Amino acid sequence: MHASYVPHSLVEIQKGLQLEQDELRSINVSADIAYFASNCNSDFRQSWVKGLMEAIPVDSYGQCEKNKELPLHLLQLQQGPDEFALAVENTRDVDYVTEKMYEVLQAGAVPIYLGAPNWKVIFPLPSAVIDAAAFESPPR
């Protein structure tokens, strides 16, 4: 391997990252909160999210309550230019914590979580998450 190969590779990576950043900037973001959901069969979650969307702006990129479009490759990564993202479980059952909070953190956003009442015992860093249950419910 030539020494010149490494800088060339870094340049290509930087160009690719810049293209993705430019693409994210071109998306018409109207809210600071993003919502991604493909399973619209949870009455609990859908009712809560609909109420929240009536109260404040939420950009929904998934199949449920969809009001925004993202390029497919960005949708698959579940990331957008938003600072916050909803992580709402299908149910509020004790110990039911799925990957939702982790995916939001991985995408670089702050999770707004609603789900298991004991999630703070299960999740390793509760201070990195906004607990939606600690606030008055959105209007329904």
The CATH number of the domain holding residue 80 is: 3.40.50.11660
Note the pLDDT tens digit of each residue in 21-80. 666 566 666 777 888 888 898 888 888 899 999 988 888 888 899 988 876 665 544 444
B/e letters for 75-93, b = 16+ CB within 10 Å, e = fewer, are: beebbbbbebbbbbbbebe
Q: Residue 2 has what pLDDT? A: 37
Question: Rounded to a whole number, what is the largest CA-CA distance in the chain?
Answer: 63
24 occurs within a structural domain: no
Indicate the burial class of 110 (C-beta count within 10 angstroms; 0-12, 13-18, 19 or more).
middle
20 occurs within a structural domain: no
Please give the tally of structural domains in the chain: 1
Strand order of the β-sheet with 59-60 is 59-60, 33-35, 84-88, 110-114, 130-131
Report residue 117 as tokens.
């009442």
16 occurs within a structural domain: no
Give the integer Cα–Cα distance in Å for 25 and 78: 16
Residue 77 to residues 22, 71, 73: CA-CA distances in angstroms?
16, 10, 7
Structural domain span for residue 117: 29-134
Where residue 8 falls among pLDDT bands split at 50, 70, 90?
A: very low
Whole-prediction pTM:
0.64
107 versus 52: the higher-pLDDT residue is: 52
58 occurs within a structural domain: yes
2 occurs within a structural domain: no
